[in-house]
Chains A and B, each alone.
Chain A
Amino acid sequence: DVKVTQSSRYLVKRTGEKVFLECVQDMDHENMFWYRQDPGLGLRLIYFSYDVKMKEKGDIPEGYSVSREKKERFSLILESASTNQTSMYLCASSLAVHRGRNQPQHFGDGTRLSIL
């Protein structure tokens, strides 16, 4: 079974802090994704990566950056946390397209981040 592990389930940080959210997957997936989920807005893609050291902006990248130094790990960084970044953050992974065009994404359990 695929396991996607997010380092924290709950996190409380202060405005202006640099925040790191970590995600690790154990199935050798090429693709990894970061979403945020807010009531009424569904899932919004922040960044994704389809290979080590590769990253692509999603729909709402402002205020965020990512790092993918190893295949299994994808980190989301809030450069200077603000209260409007309070949200549920979900990490996901999947196989590359060349391994099958309809491969599903596998999600971690999320990190509920509060910025005070």
Chain B
Amino acid sequence: AQSVAQPEDQVNVAEGNPLTVKCTYSVSGNPYLFWYVQYPNRGLQFLLKYITGDNLVKGSYGFEAEFNKSQTSFHLKKPSALVSDSALYFCAVRDEVAGGFKTIFGAGTRLFVKA
């Protein structure tokens, strides 16, 4: 079965510094990986997805993700953090089941960006 792990409950970074939110995955077959962001009292918003063959994927709001097959990682990055990036971030993997599929979400990492 597919799984994702987000090893950090919380990441703290100063505004203007680069940020990384970590995600590792376990899949059988091709990985279908995603990052989502959740702001307070809102649903999840799609940020970016892995595209086969691209080791660096660009997404919304200046975020990008680095895919590393040998380390089975899909870390979310941003070169320069903003206070408004403070939110809850979820890594996710697609899991195909009979008749369709479901998405498995990591536990989430809370990002705090300090001014």
A residues engaging B (CB < 8 A)? Answer: 4, 9, 31, 33, 40-43, 45, 48, 50, 54, 56, 58, 90, 92, 96-97, 101-102, 104-110, 112
Contacts and interface: CB of A to CB of B under 8 A. Distances in A.
B94 A107 contact: no
Interface of B: 30, 32, 34, 36, 41-46, 49-51, 90, 94, 96-97, 99-103, 105-108
A33 to B, nearest CB: 7
Contact of B42 (A31, A56, A104, A109): A109
A105 B99 contact: no
Contacts of B41: 9, 109-110, 112
B43 A90 contact: yes
Contacts, number: 65
Given A48-B102, A104-B34, A56 B97 contact: yes
B67 to A, nearest CB: 12
Nearest to B9: A40
18 contacts: A31-B100, A33-B102, A33-B103, A42-B105, A42-B106, A45-B103, A90-B44, A92-B43, A101-B30, A101-B32, A101-B94, A102-B32, A102-B94, A105-B46, A109-B42, A110-B41, A110-B42, A112-B41
Contacts of B32: 101-102
Given A43-B44, A97-B101, A104-B34, 18 more contacts: A31-B100, A33-B102, A41-B107, A42-B105, A42-B106, A42-B108, A45-B102, A48-B100, A48-B102, A56-B99, A56-B100, A92-B44, A102-B32, A104-B46, A104-B49, A105-B44, A105-B103, A108-B43
B60 to A, nearest CB: 11
Name the prevailing secondary structure of the B interface residues.
strand
Contacts of B45: 107
